[in-house]
Amino acid sequence: MNPQMVLTAGREALELLLMVSLPVLLVVMLVGIVVSIFQAVTQIQETTLTFVPKLLAAVVVFMIAGPWMLSTLVDYLRRTIESIPSLVA
């Protein structure tokens, strides 16, 4: 296993991590912006008002995109485990 293979495997892992986490991060960020605007307009500074909508949005995204995220991660793990013999030999 040469350094190029290690860098390629690391790059693929980081790309997969970004691709899988992006839907949740984007939705939670958008919900946070909407809640922040709502708080600024109404001058309500309640900490649970920022936490609960983000949590609910994350749960909904996981319910919708969870199967895709899981299958993507399982496929990557299967490819990685199947490539071990070629890396050792």
Q: Which residues have a Cβ under 8 Å from the Cβ of 77 and sit 6 or more positions away?
A: none
| Residue 89 binned pLDDT confidence (cut-offs 50, 70, 90) | low
pLDDT one-digit tens code per residue, 20-40 = 999 999 999 999 999 999 999
Find how far residue 9's CA is from the centre of its chain.
19
- pLDDT for position 46: 83
Q: Judge contact between 57 and 31, C-beta under 8 A.
A: yes
* pLDDT at residue 79 tops 70: yes
